[in-house]
Amino acid sequence: MRPLLRIFALLALLLPAVPAGAVQPDEILSDPLLEARARDISRDLRCLVCQNQSIDDSNAELARDLRVIVRERLVGGDSDRQVLDYVVARYGDFVLLDPPFKGTTLVLWFGPALIGACGLFVLIAYFRRLRRAALESPVALSLEEQRRIAALLAEDGPARGPSEKRS
């Protein structure tokens, strides 16, 4: 138990080391509440240069510009929604790392579940057929097997029936 405890203690030490992102000191707002909101929003916005990083993570020039714009708009009194809408109006839904639920994104939301359901269906159908086939046409015993069963039964005698005794 002791080594396990030690590992957990070490892991706990890593907790404060959450990714700091690419935010530069000169970008950070003096109001910690606004800054926290800015960080939250930035984590939801895709950097269009790297495409698999959020603007909070990316060192790209465009990501920096967008981070600054996000903060400017928050300082100007925008709600989180308004800030996101501002960026979406220019770059489309693709900038949102958490895509909205609507007509054009239905495939995105239901595609994986649909494919999973298809797989499950095929699997169930396969096992059902396997079982039915086994029930409908059991494989007949070969002549050799029939002879061995007859021999075993004869050995034990008719009164005792089949037993686990082996010759």
The closest of 23, 108, 112 to 70, measured between CA atoms, is 23
Closest to another protein by CB, 61 vs 164, is 61
Going by the DSSP 8-state scheme, the letter that residue 165 receives in this structure is -
Q: Which is nearer to another protein, 34 or 91 (CB)?
A: 91
Smallest distance from another protein to CB 66, Å = 7
Cα end-to-end span (Å), the chain: 53
- Residues 158, 161, 166, 167: what is their CA dihedral angle, to the nearest 10 degrees? 0
Measured from the CB atom, the residue of 38 and 66 that comes closer to another protein is: 66
Q: Which residue of 51, 82, 146, 163 would you call a contact of another protein, by CB under 8 A?
A: 51
- Partners of residue 45 on adjacent β-strands: 96
Interface with another protein includes 152 (CB under 8 A)? no
Q: Which residues bind another protein (CB under 8 A)?
A: 48-49, 51, 61-62, 65-66, 69, 88-94
